[in-house]
Structures are given as C-alpha cells and as structure tokens.
Amino acid sequence: MNAPQHNAALPTILVVDDSPDILILMEELLSDQYNILTASGGAQALEIIEGSVPPDLVLLDCMMPGMDGYETCRKLRSSSAAGTPVIFLSALSSIEERLLGYSAGGDDYVCKPFDMPELIAKIERQLAVVSSKRELGNQLNEAVNAVMSSADMVGEVGVVLDFQRALNACTDYAGIAAQLFESFERYRLDGCIRIQGKMGMVSLNSKTTCTALELSILDHLAAQKPDPRIRPFGPHTSFNFGSIILFLRDLPMTRSPDMDPELAERHGRAIDNVALLIEGACTKVTALDNELAVRELNSTVIKMVSMTRLALADISAKNKAMSNEVQTLFESLAKDVDDSYMNLGLLSQQEEFLSGLIKSYMTAVIQALAKGRETEGKLGKVIEQLGHLK
C-alpha cells in the first residue's frame, strides 16, 4: 500500500492487484490524471476503504489468492464505499465471468491485457455516472422510499392492473420501460431491459442507461434462441419475448428443496406476474409500431396525391394550350386554302370538297383532344377522393 501526496482536485482511484508489477504500472500510467492508492489484496483494500474517505473508483483484479475480486466486491458493497463504482480487471472474458462480476455488484469489466485508452474511457464514464448520481441522489432516494412504502398497500394483481392502465399514456419505448420498472419495484425486483421495434431500440436499467456489463448480458440473451421465453440464468431469471428482453437479478427460477416454501411460492408468482407484464408491454410495442407505420403510410399517400395533383394540373394546362394551338392552325390552314382557290383553277365542287375535308379533320382532332380532357376530369375526381382518405 502506498500513500502519496494527493491532489484534492483529482479523483482518487484504488487499484487492487496481487501483482506488484501491475500496481507499479498502473500507478505510473494513471498518476498524472488521478490520485492513486494501491492494495495487494482484498483484505488490504477493505482496510484502506474503512480507514479513510472511500475512493471515487476501484480497479479490482478478479483472480487473487485468499479473498478474490468477487468476494472483495461483495464486501465492499456492504461497506462505507457501497456506492463506489468497481471495474473488474481479468484475463478471463467469458459471459460466465462477466455474470459473476455483475452478480458481485461490479459496474464494468476490462480484459487483460487491456488497452489504456479504453480503460481510461471506462474510468471517466464511471466517474461521470457517480457525479450524476450524487446530484440526483436525494431526489432518487425520496422517490424510491415513496414507491417502497406504497408497495405493501397494493396486491400483486393490482400491480398488473395498474400497469395495464398506465400503458395507455406511453408514447415511446422508454415510457414502457419506465412503467415496467415501476411495477418491478413494487415486487422488490430489479434488473435491466431492452425494447426493440420500428421506433428503434432502448436498453435501460431502473435508473438510467445500462452499464457495460448489463449491455453485454442483454447482448448474450438476444443471441440465444427465443424458446423457451423464460429461462434460469444462474440465480437470476431472463425473459425473451422478441421485442422485449428482460434480465431480473436475484429472482431464482430454479429453487432448491431446502428453500422456504413460502419464499419459493412467492418467486414463482413473481415470475408469472412479470410474464403478464411483459406480454402487455409487447402488445403496446406492437400498437406503437402500427401507429408509426400508419403515420408513415399517410405521409406517403399525402405526398403522392399532392405530386399527382400537380402533374395533372400541368397536363391539363398543356392539353388546353395544344387544343387552342391545333384549332388556330386548322383555321389558318382553311383560310390559306380559301385564298389559294383563285390560283388553283379548281371547280366549285372541288373547292367545297377540299374545304369540307379540312374542317372534318379539324373536328376529329378537336374531339380527340376533348376526350383527353374528359379523362383528365375522371382522374382528377379519383385524386380528390384519395385526398379525402388522409
């Protein structure tokens, strides 16, 4: 353990690792940006925490002799540093190892050998979360206390009914997730959720966006086959209903024979009630997606009707101009022919025949253009009817 001169303006990080080389390396790499404390084991780390002001963040090795990182983290969560973020450092990267870190109360997980920019980015993210939590801590505690106090007065069935009524006011996925977490709190449950559909995707826990560990767990659940929809996940339970994926901690689906029968029954009812809540939430997701699809379709129809109306108006104007031009041309032709009769030496019958022929063709062309205008009129009525459908 070392106790260098600290800069009060810098965050304090406690590095816990049984390797002296790692402790020296971490102090050299991080001391310019943070106050660094070091401990060679879990017991020494807890001693440091209890003997002074808790650090702002803990970098904790998973595999250590004696008290390992997971046990150290569990004890830390029961100490004065219960709210201090913990980033696990481990050479193991499987989902099982990450789940152990999540169950122990960790906030993030970095694999050895780690990339220093990545580690610093994760440290900064956790420090930012801590800062935000401190600002909202008092209000959050009051809200949680109010919810927990009212939970005893509402039955399990009432929670489901209240949730169904509250869904009517939800206009996006985040609102649905908020209502679900409010119901989970009344059941004394907590975890993380992902909702995905036409409106995008949200991944949230009961307080804010998911931590890195929670995101990795949700990704793991999303990659699994959806059947069965409800399955045990260690001492926890996962729900995969397609558009909604949920992970609830400390809700065992598999219950040991020595478990208290009343507690086992309560866990079973909780799983059934959560499934009902998710089914209702999935129905609301589908309804929101359908409303979005209808709005997009209406917008497309409106644009098409407007474009067609403009095109029809342009065609009508061009047809009218063409009709006037054709009539003018035929009248000019007839006049020129009449003026030329004197020079052609035609008989009166031939002149009448030629004039009549020109007039008949003019009449036929004008009638053909008139039929085109009739077609324009019918098309215009269809466009107006489409416009009323919006």
Angle of helix 95-104 relative to helix 212-223, nearest 10 degrees? 140
- pLDDT of res. 183: 92
pLDDT of residue 387: 61
What residue spans of 112-207 are helical by DSSP H? 116-151, 156-167, 173-186
Model pLDDT, residue 367: 73
Based on its alpha-carbon atoms, the radius of gyration of the chain, rounded to whole angstroms, reads: 38
**Could you give the C-alpha distances from 145 to 60, 179, 210, 236, 253, in angstroms and in order?**
31, 17, 22, 24, 28
**Which of the residues in the chain have pLDDT under 50?**
1-3, 145-154
Pairing state between β 236-240 and 244-249: antiparallel
CATH fold of 12-133 reads Rossmann fold (3.40.50)
- Residue 389, C-beta contacts closer than 8 angstroms, at least 6 positions apart: 301
* Structure token digits, residue 315: 């065609």
The set of long-range contacts for 23-32, using a CB threshold of 8 Å and a minimum separation of 24, is 26/59, 27/2, 29/116, 30/120, 31/4
Distance of alpha carbon 89 from alpha carbon 195, whole angstroms: 30
Q: What is the pLDDT of residue 149?
A: 40
Residues contacting residue 246 through CB under 8 Å, at least 6 positions apart: 180, 191, 192, 193, 194, 238, 239, 240, 274, 278
Whole-angstrom distance, CA of residue 71 vs CA of residue 347: 123
| Threshold 0.75, pTM exceeds | no
pLDDT at 4 (0 to 100): 53
Q: How confident is the model at residue 18, as a pLDDT? A: 93
SS3 at position 239: strand
Beta carbons of 153 and 239 less than 8 angstroms apart: no
* 248, 272 contact by CB (below 8 A): no
* CB-based contacts of 214, cutoff 8 Å, min separation 6: 102, 192, 203, 205, 247
pLDDT value of residue 342: 62
| Domain 153-291 classification at class level | alpha beta
**pLDDT for the residue 152:** 40
Measured distance CA(52)–CA(246) in Å, rounded: 39
Question: 200 — phi, psi (to 5°)?
Answer: 115, -150
**Residue 18's closest CA among 91, 85, 120?**
91
Handedness of CA 281, 285, 287, 288 (dihedral sign): positive
